Amino acid sequence: MATIKVPEISSMATIKVPEISSMATIKVPATVPSPAEDCDQLRKAFQGWGTNERLIISILAHRTAAQRRAIRATYAETYGEELLKSLEDEISGDFERAVLLWTLDPADRDAQLANEALRGWNPSNRVLIEIACTRNSGELFDVRRAYHLRYKRSLEEDVAKHTTGDFRKLLVPLVSSYRYEGIVVSGKLVKSEAKMLHEKITEKAYNHEELIRIFTTRSKAQLIATINHYKNEYGKPINKDLKSDPKNEFLAALRAIIRCTFCPERYLEKVIRLAIKGLGTDENSLTRIITTRAEVDLKAIETAYYKRNSVSLKQAIKGDTSGDYKAMLTALLGHDDA
Amino acid sequence: MATIKVPEISSMATIKVPEISSMATIKVPATVPSPAEDCDQLRKAFQGWGTNERLIISILAHRTAAQRRAIRATYAETYGEELLKSLEDEISGDFERAVLLWTLDPADRDAQLANEALRGWNPSNRVLIEIACTRNSGELFDVRRAYHLRYKRSLEEDVAKHTTGDFRKLLVPLVSSYRYEGIVVSGKLVKSEAKMLHEKITEKAYNHEELIRIFTTRSKAQLIATINHYKNEYGKPINKDLKSDPKNEFLAALRAIIRCTFCPERYLEKVIRLAIKGLGTDENSLTRIITTRAEVDLKAIETAYYKRNSVSLKQAIKGDTSGDYKAMLTALLGHDDA
């Protein structure tokens, strides 16, 4: 019979606690107070006449996801109330949203963001793509697990419920897939699938089953190799060819998948740029990117932002926001001089 | 702003070690030798002139998945060789396949079975459905994770590669879904989706997007409520209506999904029955069911088997198999008198 090989399955027995990324912007003090001490300070911030918002920021914006989780657990145990509930009672507006989103576990935060995006879904909403394609496979699965806990149904069920037509054909597999994370790339597939993509795009068969399959199931390394080959072989970047009709939201969704896969920090830079640009700020998008990336790759996004706009992200945010909200975002950027 | 609720996300931090099910047939001694002692005995079984197959059975067939994992780890550490490799060198045939499959971790075993099914896939192959629908959502995800480790690509990529047409439309989402596991059922959906299923089935639109979505994404509790309502409302069990053409393999696949969801032990009983029936035995199927269910629900399958065949599963297997293979299977059934 065929050989049965034993892979290192023992890695399934543990969940890695993510260490802080070198691309993270948050600053964690060298000596972190115990969760009990942090809770005590937070409680003080809530008490008395008025809330001490800056004290809240000085604690929560300087703790990792694991530390915030410990604070939430200790707080609930000590005061018999959820920390998020207390925060909700004490603060408001954009500042509240930023603090609450930040305080959540990343997977649970993404589950909430995905659900919000779905409840108000329209074809120009690309939050689901952002979540599905800028998180790694394990993180996306954690989001699906958190979604079960929070909403008592699956993410893919809700995607199918709230989306229609080609978007549904694209987004259901996109959130369901568990892409291989390794760097092994099949050169044969690169060629055959670049050819297939080129054919379908030339025929304007953008919703073709094969195109959707390639976009939604291939590993990031494989997909990147395929779109590189596409450019070499057919002379134009795939995203140029996917821009035949700039008003077509489905094409925009396909381009977003490619951009999130190929260069997430540049994609996310653009989301921030558009959120800040012009009159009025899209606080929802700004808050989402800062809170979801501050512990991941916000430094790289800052670099991309400076390159593209010749102004630092910190300056741009300071110019466009105010008060405690401004202080919270700049703290997450690693600055405390708001 | 909308309330942000905190579900009990802390459960994400631990992976439950599955306890032995009350429906398991394997017998584990009250006092289990240490992994080192077991390895020592296994090594003895391999040494000298000929192999002591019964000693191998007396150890491995009486250990849980966690215990077998510890034995594998200790063996590799002590002898610098994988236990599975040693077993492969020492034993052969159906006995070898049964011992190797049994010794593997359940998720890794399923990954291997899924891959075998895919490499030789044809429309009558229902192993993928068996794996996708009789395991729970967490177990199915573990299979996908094990598949990455073992094959360096995703299960859904391989399903898309090896299947075609309607089967591909059905099987890719089937293995990709992460069904909600709770018992919360939406009565409104039960009605609307039973109606939708009835419409599509009446129109013979068996490959309709909505039918596939319902079959592949709904929680088991929701799907069972829907097919119960279908029967009440439309007078016939859905599987009767899905039998309009008994030779249509796609309809058979849909029925298998319903049966695996509704009553897995009766579905699996039938797989065993067909494997044993007639001249010659389908050892592959028999081995698969016994090794994958001995620690899960083989007692319930035995009960279903006796009800349906008026002969005990143990007697049937003894009559149809021989030698060490027979001894291994009956040991997994909890008997040592083969």
The domain boundary residue, chosen from B176, B198, B226: B176
Q: Do A84 and B6 touch (CB under 8 A)?
A: yes
- Looking at the predicted structure, is the pLDDT value of residue A11 above 80? no
Chain A residues near residue B141 by CB distance under 8 angstroms: 141, 178
The domain boundary residue, chosen from A203, A232, A262: A262
- Looking at the predicted structure, is the pLDDT value of residue A53 above 60? yes
Range of the domain at A113: 106-176
Domain count, chain B: 4
Q: Is residue A15 included in any domain, yes or no?
A: no
Q: Is residue B24 included in any domain, yes or no?
A: no
Size of interface A-B (CB pairs under 8 A): 155
Chain B residues near residue A141 by CB distance under 8 angstroms: 141, 178
At residue A79 the predicted structure's pLDDT band, cuts being 50, 70 and 90, is: very high
Closest partner CB to A73 (pick from B10, B84, B218): B10
Q: Do A84 and B10 touch (CB under 8 A)?
A: no
Closest partner CB to A7 (pick from B96, B149, B209): B149
Same domain, B191 and B171: no
Per mean pLDDT, which range of A284-288, B20-24, B164-168 is the poorest? B20-24
| pLDDT (average), residues B134-157 | 97
Q: Is residue B169 included in any domain, yes or no?
A: yes
The domain boundary residue, chosen from B237, B262, B287: B262
Same domain, B327 and B303: yes
Q: Is residue A243 included in any domain, yes or no?
A: yes
Q: Using CA atoms, how far apart are residues A127 and A271, in angstroms rounded to an integer?
A: 10
Q: Using CA atoms, how far apart are residues A32 and A38, in angstroms rounded to an integer?
A: 9
Q: Give per-residue pLDDT as tens, B37-84.
A: 999 999 999 997 889 999 999 999 999 999 999 999 999 999 999 999
Q: Is residue A23 included in any domain, yes or no?
A: no
Same domain, B65 and B87: yes
Question: A105: helix, coil or strand?
Answer: coil
pLDDT at residue A337, rounded to an integer: 61
Chain B residues near residue A69 by CB distance under 8 angstroms: 9-10
Same domain, A193 and A257: yes
pTM value is 0.91
Chain B residues near residue A173 by CB distance under 8 angstroms: 172-173, 176
| pLDDT (average), residues A93-120 | 97
Q: Is residue A126 included in any domain, yes or no?
A: yes
Closest partner CB to B152 (pick from A8, A88, A184): A184
Mutate to test the interface with A, among B1, B3, B4, B283 (most CBs of A within 10 A): B4
Contact (CB, 8 A) for A238 and A197: yes
Which CA distances in Å does A314 have to A100, A290, A302, B5?
A: 21, 11, 8, 30
pLDDT at residue B280, rounded to an integer: 83
Domain with residue A302: its CATH number is: 1.10.220.10
**Residue that wins the pLDDT comparison between B20 and B157:** B157
Q: Residue type at A306?
A: Y
Chain B residues near residue A11 by CB distance under 8 angstroms: 149
pLDDT at residue A321, rounded to an integer: 96
Q: Do A73 and B141 touch (CB under 8 A)?
A: no
Closest partner CB to A157 (pick from B14, B96, B218): B218
- Looking at the predicted structure, is the pLDDT value of residue B158 above 90? yes
Q: Do B157 and A9 touch (CB under 8 A)?
A: no
Q: What mean pLDDT, rounded, does chain A reach?
A: 93
Same domain, B295 and B242: no
Q: Do B142 and A12 touch (CB under 8 A)?
A: yes
pLDDT at residue B49, rounded to an integer: 80
Cβ neighbour number for residue B33 with a 10 Å cutoff? 15
Q: Give per-residue pLDDT as tens, A182-235.
A: 998 999 999 999 999 999 999 999 999 999 999 999 999 999 999 999 999 999
Nearest CA in chain A to B209: A169
pLDDT at residue A336, rounded to an integer: 73
pLDDT at residue A3, rounded to an integer: 42
Q: Using CA atoms, how far apart are residues A227 and B90, in angstroms rounded to an integer?
A: 48
pLDDT at residue A6, rounded to an integer: 41
pLDDT at residue A50, rounded to an integer: 85
Q: Is residue B132 included in any domain, yes or no?
A: yes
Q: Using CA atoms, how far apart are residues B205 and A87, in angstroms rounded to an integer?
A: 52
Q: Using CA atoms, how far apart are residues B64 and B70, in angstroms rounded to an integer?
A: 10
Closest partner CB to B178 (pick from A2, A88, A154): A154
State the nearest Cα–Cα gap between B319 and chain A, in angstroms: 24
Q: Is residue B56 included in any domain, yes or no?
A: yes
